[in-house]
Structure 1
Amino acid sequence: MLNHNEVDLNNCDREPIHIPGQIQSHGFLIVIDHNYTIRYHSDNISVFVEGIGNNLLGRSINDVELLIGQNEPKDFISQLISFGKKNGFEQTNPFTTDVQGNPFYLVISPTDDYYLLEFEPATSDLSIDIQKMIGRSISEMLADKNLQHLLDNAARQVKQIIRYDRVMIYRFADDGHGEVISEAKNDDLDPWVGLHYPASDIPKQARELYKLNLTRLIANVHTAPSKIITAADNSIPLDLTPSQLRAVSPIHIQYLKNMGVDSSFSISLIYKKELWGLIACHNYTPRFIDYKSRESSKLIGQILSSALEFRQDEENQQITQRYKVAIDQISKYLLKSISIEDALTQQEVTILDTTNASGVILLYENNTIKIGQTPNDNQIEDLLNWIKDNLGDSFHFTNNLSSVYPAAAAYKDIASGLMISVLSREMNEYVLWFKPEQIQTIKWAGNPEKPAEVAANGLMQISPRKSFGEWTQKVSGTSINWSNEEIKSAARLREEITYAINQKASAIRLLNDKLKQAYEELDAFSSTISHDLKNPLSTIKSYAQILTRNGNLEPKTQRIMERIMVGADKMNVMINEVLDYSRIGRSEVQNKRVEMEPIINDLVRDLKVAYNAPDAIVNIGDMPDIYGDPVMIAQVFANLISNAIKYAIPSGTPTVGIAGKLTETGVIYTISDNGIGIDIQYLPKVFELFGRLENARDIEGSGVGLSIVKRIIEKHHGKVWVDSELSKGSTFYVEFFYKHNI
């Protein structure tokens, strides 16, 4: 129990719902290890199996299975497990059997150490055959291309199939709270469309389980759960993550009771491997749906998820294309002989067109150019001072500026949303986009603050709210969120501006003294790395190698020595890459025509061997020649193809695409993969030195390779940019220009 100071909504996020220690009582559970010995079971087995006894722990499943499946062949459970291990347990689940004359389904779920054997009735409270209705219902559900109509159709079809009193489409927001965006209900029920529910109603760990278990049945909130028993000396709680019968959090049970709901059933809706929402079904009397019917219902969720993804991607593609056209046009302006400011702000297409902002400011070469609705000059000056003092990143965005910069509350009707792209922090050059306040009136289903109440022992505890009457909240100071498409567009625009600035820098922006000083420091740094770091590192590795030859070392000490050598090798690689990075800045480009086909083919062959990825699929298209330095060009493609293969390996079927195409001014190569992708918030930082991403921490790398790529491309007066989505893969673009265009 919690004391008063510990009671907050975060406690709901920490509730261990995957190890509840009990199951719903409409079925029973036996858990066996890999030797088929019973290690856990629910305490209600004797309710379903007469004469089986109350304690099966330590017995072989083969000894008791005849009492469970009297009409099954000997060792049928071990045979099912062997078949499932070879062919997948989705091929065996559910296995239809009988438990003392009653039809039951057996569902087998493997875990790291055990097999969960779940037995539940093969009968349902539904009077119809769900599987026969699925096909027609899906056809009707997908008949309309409008997204809202699609959701409304889905709710109606699911209600018609499972006959629950209320079926809702429940969508999660970025902060975890949910909203009912569609429903089909009995006529006597109040409508819930438009009602919001706080994130604590379905806390984070529950949302994670919904991604793993695509359906979830709570058959009767009024029945007592059955406890799971295990040996007295076993203190490890049983992980019921894959379980169908997993008991429900007491807080959630009370929550449903407070709503008057006796039974609930949910179907997960997944968008790009994340939980988009639920088909949430409520019934005001107990309702049991058998396993096969739940699996058929899961198919509806999977098809609706695919339809949602298709519709959403279609909309996103239209937006992306609109921004791409704008940036392509701006890029053409920048390549002309007009000034940077005029190219960005004075043409038919401007930087305002690259996002859905209502205003934008370009701060460049001590000039401030405004387009659309923006704060006044004094407000801009104060805002810039705050940005310089508080934001260190080269890219930043928020839809609630006044929450981090209170002075912005004075002009929230113009700038509640802010996106910042830093062109040069030293020279105070930025692009700032603004979005106005969008006042929202949110209708909550009851007060969203989950209250604490005094328990019988006098201590405070979390308690689900009892009232679900509409509770209105007015939200001000926020704008419409910056979309992924807008963020990608802003990142691409910065690359185009940086490229144009670099092209013009030789005439108007050279800072000779600082550059000279920077090169001198870089030379000194390189020398320090070569001598002061590499030599001691070699010594460390040599001593470790000598020690490993001592046959008297304990295994633990031997492993430590091996780790020292591996660490020394990694540090040596990083030092060499930093040296490469510094040398590129001082190297002269030896321009000539570079034949790309042998370079790419050799790299692909060698990298497949280096990463032990013989089955990696590498699709190679046209490979036009490039004008540049052969050694540097090879280094660029070695880094990009190496990354593509390395980060695609976790996908299971690594697939890489390499292709070049001729343009009016040069050649553009694309290197794509189906790997782990890049989180949208890190996209503008991928070419920064030591820019390792959070989702790549477990993959070997130094964070220098892409910085080297960018430096080489800049030496060739070319361009490099990236497009990526988390868990979907990345595409890198490198553009080289013809000799006469450099």
Structure 2
Amino acid sequence: MSQFDITPTQATNLIHHEPIHLPNSIQPHGVLLAVSPQLEILLTSNNTQDFLGKEPRDLLNQPLSTLLNAEQVKAIEQFWQGSGSSVYSFKLSIETSKGEQYFDAIAHRTESTVILELEPTDSINQISFLSFHALAQEAIAKMRKTSNLTDFLHTVASEVQKITEFDRVMVYQFDQVGAGSVVAEVKKDNLLPYLGLHYPSTDIPQQARELYKRCLLRFIPDMNAQAVELMAVENPEMHSTSVDLSLSVLRSTHPCCVEYHQNMGVAAILVIALIKEQTLWGLISCHHQTLKFIPYEVRKICEFLAQIVSLELEHKVNQSEFDLMVKLQSIQADFIESISGAENFREALVYPELRLLDIVNARGAAVCLDDDITLVGATPTIEEVRALIEWVDTQITDNLFSTDSLPKLYPEAVAFKDTASGLLLLRISKVRRYYILWFRPEVIQTVNWAGQPNESIQIKADGSVTLCPRTSFELWQETVRLTSLAWKSCELESAIALRNAIVGIVLSKADELAKINQELERSNRELASFAFVASHDLKEPLRGIYNYSNILLEDYAQLLDEDGVEYLETVVSLSIRMETLINSLLRLSLLGQAQLNLQATDLNGLLHQVIDLVRASRSPSQLDIRIPRRLPMIQCDAVLVSEVFSNLMINAFKYNDKSDKWVEIGYLDINEQMEKGLLQQQPQTSAPFVFYVQDNGIGIPEHHHQTIFRLFKRLHSQEKFGGGTGAGLAISKKIVERHGGRIWVESTVDTGSVFYFTLE
């Protein structure tokens, strides 16, 4: 989607070498001068007579004072000598044969000259800061109110369209190879939509993208205007073709660009770069069907908004990436912790199965330890995996290999594309054949292109390849097969981090690891003992505070004013809350020290006891408890497991603002776990039951799904939903983990939550 003054050149091997920043001409709506350090005019555009009333030959080799007054010349001199901004803009007036003429002057430095560009304007007065602020303030406020990236980009396009009044304003995003797509659009009703269409990288070659990183704004008010040549002094070091116009606002339009936009029916364009972390993320692209001139100051407002957009864009994109990274790191931390304490390395890797898959969001995995291969989830056969490893071992660099289209690189993979169109392979050891392979299935995608993407590529009779502007931009659909979802950079980093941990913890430092584990076990015991003793000892002075505060209230309240009584009541309330928190801390410390009393337990009897206790503490009419089928008999510590069910049920009713509250308690068998995606294939041995407690309550935002299990982590104020310490879920997690299981939540805000847990 070339909104740009350069697209394909005559041949692909010349695209990156044509000096597009040295065009030897400018657009005709302004004047360009190149001034030496001595403030002599070394170069002019061949239209000075039209704007300044002087021929180029009358200006070349002349001092700048021939054209500008002393104050204006002084400003240019200070700009040349200064070390501040590389671009300087101001208003000026020039006496010409037609009388006094006003201009927007834009100056920028090159290595040997100052480029001064003049655009005619109606007034010498600049837009005031307040006016500038008023134009930008509303747009910025609306953009910052949006919470997700899609709405944010649409708001950006809408606000730029209000300011510029272009027929069409789009936000265009680049991918990793320079191709891109329209991700937001605001347009006139009579125009065909471009939203969602893709454009090949040849529409905006690498050299053009690099130029946008340097010059953030490009404006072409008349795509069909005749370019004006540059004229230089007779000097062997000064040629019009050697003047770098990378930062020029008047730089002329490449002929390919003109033809390209004529094919699109576009007569004027304004393009503003969006930079994220020093990388060209995308463009705000404005199209108009007729000539369209925008004053320089309004363009600067648009450029300023684009800088705000870039900052907000970095925040919104990074927040999404950060949330995923935090999730992967949490999974990885649990994974590494279990590996470090495991006696059997292979079993620590593959059990429980979901953990190995979740660490990179895969659907299947294979663990290869020499000749021993263990499959997890949806995978090719063991023999297919062996052959794949032999091939990929010749392709791998830096211990990692990834592709989202394995069959295109390894034709034999077509046979198992349904399970492994995507491959991520991690080599753990170069000495031994230790690998982890993750797989993703084929995802058939329909890509909507703006015209046939290869239309611009033409092969001549001699076999040479050339590029030319495309003529068609109508919807052209391509079905992409043999491709999986792409591996994200944070997923690749998660795999590398896993390797580093394995090498550092399991392989290279096995002896040291054993010592560390012993020390950690001792430290944990000491920490638990400290927590127990400290909490126990705190209760005595706290009880004294509570008792004496009550005595003061009972015997001396009449001596206190209303505020004094309120203060004492607050002390009593806080001491009660403090004791509750201390009791929770004591409970958690005891869980780490006590031995589990494992025995065969009928969960149905246990659950009915829990329900009776919960009903006793709440109005029975409020409790709709559903148990769709009998629960199984399992080995567990009945007292502790009843506490898990109790905590989850109490929370389910407490955090519920519906008039008809209900809780469902049940479990998923192996087939149901496979249907839900918790298991990718029938396990060779029996899999643990997955128990659940489901409610129709207020729900939990996704970014809090991990944090709610932290000790004393509350999502609401103490006054809302009946209070609480924020320890119940932390205690439940500790109990589940003591049983060798895990606990997690799936939740939708305002709809309800489902807490799942296993007990191995």
Q: 2:148 aligns with which of 134, 146, 149?
A: 146
Q: Take 2:19 and 2:451, find their aligned partners in 1: how far apart are those partners? A: 26
Distance 1:409 1:33, change over 3 A: farther
Task: Give 1:95 shift.
Answer: 3.4
Distance 1:273 1:99, change over 3 A: farther
Code of the aligned partner of 1:165 = D
Normalising to structure 1: TM-score of the pair?
0.62
Task: Give 1:94 shift.
Answer: 2.9
Are the counterparts in 2 of residues 345 and 371 from structure 1 also a CA contact under 8 Å? yes
Q: Take 2:190 and 2:316, find their aligned partners in 1: how far apart are those partners? A: 33
Q: 1:45 aligns with which of 34, 42, 48?
A: 48
Query: 1:119 corresponds to which residue?
Result: 118
Query: 1:198 corresponds to which residue?
Result: 200
Are the counterparts in 1 of residues 222 and 292 from structure 2 also a CA contact under 8 Å? yes
Q: Pairwise mapping of residues 154-173 of structure 1 onto structure 2 (< 5 A)?
A: 154-173=156-175
Is 1:30 aligned with 2:33? yes
Q: Take 2:312 and 2:390, find their aligned partners in 1: how far apart are those partners? A: 47
Are the counterparts in 1 of residues 157 and 284 from structure 2 also a CA contact under 8 Å? yes
Query: 2:251 corresponds to which residue?
Result: 246
Q: Pairwise mapping of residues 98-109 of structure 1 onto structure 2 (< 5 A)?
A: 98=94, 100=96, 101-109=100-108
Q: Pairwise mapping of residues 475-494 of structure 1 onto structure 2 (< 5 A)?
A: 475-494=480-499
Q: Deviations over 1:103-146 (max 9, x none)?
A: 2111110111111011112359xxx9776322112212222112
Query: 1:184 corresponds to which residue?
Result: 186
Are the counterparts in 1 of residues 367 and 374 from structure 2 also a CA contact under 8 Å? yes
Task: Give 1:55 shift.
Answer: 5.3
Q: Take 1:8 and 1:405, find their aligned partners in 2: how far apart are those partners? A: 31
Are the counterparts in 1 of residues 217 and 273 from structure 2 also a CA contact under 8 Å? yes
Query: 1:213 corresponds to which residue?
Result: 215
Is 1:56 aligned with 2:59? yes
Q: Deviations over 1:363-407 (max 9, x none)?
A: 114321122211112211111111223435422222222222222
Of all paired residues, the percent bearing the same amino acid is: 32
The SS at the match of 1:251 is helix
Code of the aligned partner of 2:110 = T
Q: Take 1:302 and 1:370, find their aligned partners in 2: how far apart are those partners? A: 49
Distance 1:450 1:33, change over 3 A: farther
Q: Take 2:275 and 2:349, find their aligned partners in 1: how far apart are those partners? A: 40
Code of the aligned partner of 2:115 = L
Are the counterparts in 2 of residues 65 and 77 from structure 1 also a CA contact under 8 Å? no
Q: Pairwise mapping of residues 584-603 of structure 1 onto structure 2 (< 5 A)?
A: none
Q: Take 2:34 and 2:214, find their aligned partners in 1: how far apart are those partners? A: 20
Query: 2:452 corresponds to which residue?
Result: 447
Query: 2:84 corresponds to which residue?
Result: 88
The SS at the match of 2:308 is helix
After superposing the two structures, state which structure 1 stretch, 390-399 or 312-321, moved more.
390-399
Q: Cα RMSD (Å) of the superposition?
A: 2.6
Distance 1:343 1:55, change over 3 A: farther
Is 1:229 aligned with 2:225? no
Query: 1:21 corresponds to which residue?
Result: 24
Are the counterparts in 2 of residues 416 and 478 from structure 1 also a CA contact under 8 Å? yes
Distance 1:220 1:507, change over 3 A: closer
Q: Take 1:9 and 1:441, find their aligned partners in 2: how far apart are those partners? A: 28
Are the counterparts in 2 of residues 417 and 478 from structure 1 also a CA contact under 8 Å? yes
Q: 2:360 aligns with which of 334, 355, 359?
A: 355
Q: Pairwise mapping of residues 241-280 of structure 1 onto structure 2 (< 5 A)?
A: 241-280=246-285
Q: Pairwise mapping of residues 596-635 of structure 1 onto structure 2 (< 5 A)?
A: none
The SS at the match of 1:363 is strand
Query: 2:414 corresponds to which residue?
Result: 409
Task: Give 1:237 shift.
Answer: 1.6
Max Rg structure: 2
Are the counterparts in 1 of residues 86 and 108 from structure 2 also a CA contact under 8 Å? no
Query: 1:298 corresponds to which residue?
Result: 303
Task: Give 1:8 shift.
Answer: 4.5
The SS at the match of 1:389 is coil
5+ residue gaps in structure 1?
1-5, 67-72, 509-742
Are the counterparts in 1 of residues 37 and 80 from structure 2 also a CA contact under 8 Å? no
Are the counterparts in 1 of residues 10 and 468 from structure 2 also a CA contact under 8 Å? no
After superposing the two structures, state which structure 1 stretch, 102-111 or 51-60, moved more.
51-60
Distance 1:387 1:460, change over 3 A: closer
Q: Take 2:485 and 2:338, find their aligned partners in 1: how far apart are those partners? A: 30
Q: Pairwise mapping of residues 432-581 of structure 1 onto structure 2 (< 5 A)?
A: 432-451=437-456, 462-502=467-507
Query: 2:540 corresponds to which residue?
Result: none
Code of the aligned partner of 1:278 = L
The SS at the match of 1:313 is helix
Task: Give 1:78 shift.
Answer: 3.9
Q: Deviations over 1:3-40 (max 9, x none)?
A: xxx96445444332111111111011000121222222
Are the counterparts in 1 of residues 357 and 365 from structure 2 also a CA contact under 8 Å? yes
The SS at the match of 1:350 is helix
Q: Pairwise mapping of residues 663-674 of structure 1 onto structure 2 (< 5 A)?
A: none
Code of the aligned partner of 2:104 = Y
Code of the aligned partner of 2:226 = A
Q: Take 1:507 and 1:48, find their aligned partners in 2: how far apart are those partners? A: 80
Q: Take 1:48 and 1:185, find their aligned partners in 2: how far apart are those partners? A: 35
Q: Take 1:94 and 1:434, find their aligned partners in 2: how far apart are those partners? A: 59
Distance 1:314 1:83, change over 3 A: same
Distance 1:31 1:53, change over 3 A: closer
Distance 1:61 1:78, change over 3 A: same
Distance 1:177 1:381, change over 3 A: same
Are the counterparts in 1 of residues 375 and 382 from structure 2 also a CA contact under 8 Å? no
Q: 1:394 aligns with which of 399, 403, 407?
A: 399
Task: Give 1:75 shift.
Answer: 5.6
Distance 1:91 1:259, change over 3 A: closer
Q: Take 2:180 and 2:95, find their aligned partners in 1: how far apart are those partners? A: 41
Are the counterparts in 2 of residues 96 and 122 from structure 1 also a CA contact under 8 Å? no
Q: Take 1:435 and 1:417, find their aligned partners in 2: how far apart are those partners? A: 5
Task: Give 1:89 shift.
Answer: 4.1
Q: Deviations over 1:190-227 (max 9, x none)?
A: 11111111111111111111111111101101110111
The SS at the match of 2:242 is coil
Query: 1:133 corresponds to which residue?
Result: 135
Is 1:77 aligned with 2:73? yes
5+ residue gaps in structure 2?
1-8, 514-760
Task: Give 1:286 shift.
Answer: 0.7
Q: Take 1:229 and 1:178, find their aligned partners in 2: how far apart are those partners? A: 38
Query: 1:732 corresponds to which residue?
Result: none
Are the counterparts in 2 of residues 123 and 290 from structure 1 also a CA contact under 8 Å? no
Distance 1:203 1:55, change over 3 A: farther
Code of the aligned partner of 2:75 = Q
Q: Take 1:166 and 1:503, find their aligned partners in 2: how far apart are those partners? A: 60
Code of the aligned partner of 1:200 = T
Distance 1:441 1:372, change over 3 A: same
Q: Deviations over 1:461-506 (max 9, x none)?
A: 6420112111111122222221111111111100111123335756
The SS at the match of 1:94 is strand
Q: Take 1:322 and 1:237, find their aligned partners in 2: how far apart are those partners? A: 53
Is 1:288 aligned with 2:293? yes
Q: Deviations over 1:549-576 (max 9, x none)?
A: xxxxxxxxxxxxxxxxxxxxxxxxxxxx
Code of the aligned partner of 2:112 = D
Q: Deviations over 1:640-684 (max 9, x none)?
A: xxxxxxxxxxxxxxxxxxxxxxxxxxxxxxxxxxxxxxxxxxxxx
Q: 2:339 aligns with which of 334, 342, 354?
A: 334
Code of the aligned partner of 2:53 = E
Query: 1:647 corresponds to which residue?
Result: none
Are the counterparts in 2 of residues 31 and 116 from structure 1 also a CA contact under 8 Å? yes
Distance 1:184 1:390, change over 3 A: closer
